[in-house]
């Protein structure tokens, strides 16, 4: 991966200004996907495999989150 975006890149503000609680990455390694979640409050890291079908549905899931946010 060459283009890694940080919270600062996206929002123009540092992580400390935004009180980031979690960070998540979806990693493709060969033919398998792994979700990596950092709990920045507790200082823990968790990883789990993610089925390809779920990954393919992510744009729809993210779209639903965006619509919920816009309707508030």
* pTM of the entire predicted model: 0.63
Q: Is the pLDDT of residue 6 over 70?
A: no
pLDDT of 21 reads 93
Distance between CA atoms of residues 72 and 14, nearest Å = 26
pLDDT in tens, 10-43: 455 555 557 899 999 999 999 999 999 999 999 9
User: What distance, in Å, lies between the first and last C-alpha atoms of the chain?
Assistant: 35
Place of tokens 């975006």: 5
Task: Note whether 34 and 27 are within 8 A (CB).
Answer: yes
Q: How far apart are CA 11 and CA 49, in angstroms?
A: 29
């Amino acid at each position: 991966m060459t283009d890694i975006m940080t919270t600062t890149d996206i929002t123009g503000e540092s992580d400390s200004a935004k009180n980031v609680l979690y960070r998540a990455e979806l990693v493709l390694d060969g033919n398998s996907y792994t979700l990596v979640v950092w709990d920045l409050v507790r200082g823990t890291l968790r990883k789990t495999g993610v089925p390809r079908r779920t990954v393919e549905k992510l744009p729809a899931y993210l779209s639903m989150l965006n619509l919920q946010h816009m309707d508030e």
